[in-house]
Amino acid sequence: MRHTLFCVGSVLVSLLLAAISLRYLTHTWLLAFVYSFQVHFALAALAASLVLMLIRRHWYAYLLVTVSVLLAGHGVLMLKEFEAAPPATASRPLLRLMSFNIENDNFENSRRIADAVIASGADVVNILEAIPLLPELPRISATYPYRIGCGVGTPGCDTLVLSKRPFLEQGVRTLGDLWPNRLVQVTIDVDGTPVHLASVHLAKPYFDDFQVDELWDLRKVVKSVDGPLIVAGDFNSAIIDPHIQDFVRTARLSTVFPEPATWPTRAGKLGIAIDHVLARPPLRLISVKQIEDNAGSNHYGLMAEIAIDRQ
């Protein structure tokens, strides 16, 4: 019986580790979910491997433990790769950004979300799947008089960017071929410095290669932006995903480490970060924190404090 349990458990753990390890050989969208959860699944494999060692002291169990530790450790190193450097000269935040996918059928919590937006103290608010906020916009406009989305600049109410400061520039674009108008670009003045914001909402990575095409379009857009840049929104993938890594690396963006978990909400702080706030120098992220009240959404929101390196 012990032998059978060991064999069955070893096969299952081996298959999980093999699925994680495929990222080092090729990238297939069928395993994108596994790639985002590399650290979590590797730790689960490690726990299972330790149980196998208790069942039977065999060299293969030690091998599974070793591979699990290597995959978990390398996953953490990959997450840390994009950690933002501390501000060189700025010691206080000059810009606060709220980013939140509120879920497009979350109408019962629309007033609660609107209250949170108004009370947030953010200079700029990025709302995704924003249609539940449509009836609350007159009230929100008293605090955030400038907006794009929900009838302003786009006929739909998917992405909504609110600001206390006027827009120097604004525009809406489509990434890829799946969803229209899911890239909103604005520029605001922050103490004499034009700061560019790109609000993005990418397709799920296991929807064929749609997300890959969107990232390719987004890479070209980011490359064309000159000056301080923030990219924020729902990427539907952790930064550890190979395609997200390639985008963040080539765009010279950074984030905090560890990024706060935003999904699934049932996992709380033990989930993964699929919503991101990324910045390009001379912008420096001072902090990015999880908004603990998800207000009925299937995502947690983020609150970011951003400084400008004046050197």
| pLDDT tens readout for residues 53-75 | 988 888 899 999 999 999 999 99
Please tell me the distance from the alpha carbon of residue 56 to that of residue 1, in angstroms, as a whole number.
11
Is 90's pLDDT higher than 60?
no
State pTM to two decimals.
0.91
Which residues face 308 on adjacent strands? 283
Report the percent of the chain where pLDDT is more than 70.
97
Is 96's pLDDT higher than 70?
yes
Please tell me the distance from the alpha carbon of residue 286 to that of residue 87, in angstroms, as a whole number.
7
Structure tokens at 97: 């950004």
Is 151's pLDDT higher than 70?
yes
H or E, element range at 121:
none
Please report where in the chains the tokens 């950074």 appear, as a residue.
254
Please state, in angstroms and as integers, the Cα–Cα distance from residue 117 to each residue in 123, 126, 136, 162, 293, following that order. Answer: 10, 10, 11, 10, 12
Q: Answer positive or negative: Cα dihedral of 271, 214, 193, 83.
A: positive
- Looking only at the bridges linking them, the beta strands covering 275-280 and 229-234 are antiparallel
Mean pLDDT of the chain: 91
Please tell me the distance from the alpha carbon of residue 122 to that of residue 230, in angstroms, as a whole number.
14
Let me know: does 296 contact 108? Beta carbons within 8 Å: yes
Could you please report the per-residue DSSP string of 222-268?
HHH--S-EEEEEE-SS-TTSHHHHHHHHHTT-BB-SSPPP-B-GGGG
Q: What is the predicted pLDDT for the residue at 205? A: 87
- List pLDDT tens digits, range 8-57: 888 999 999 999 999 998 777 778 888 999 999 999 999 999 999 988 88
Segment 120-141 mean pLDDT? 96
10 Å CB burial of residue 8 (0-12, 13-18, 19+) is exposed
Segment 147-157 mean pLDDT? 89
Q: What is the predicted pLDDT for the residue at 87? A: 62
Let me know: does 268 contact 65? Beta carbons within 8 Å: no
Please tell me the distance from the alpha carbon of residue 84 to that of residue 260, in angstroms, as a whole number.
14
Confidence at 84, pLDDT banded by 50, 70, 90 = confident
10 Å CB burial of residue 191 (0-12, 13-18, 19+) is exposed
Please tell me the distance from the alpha carbon of residue 282 to that of residue 267, in angstroms, as a whole number.
34
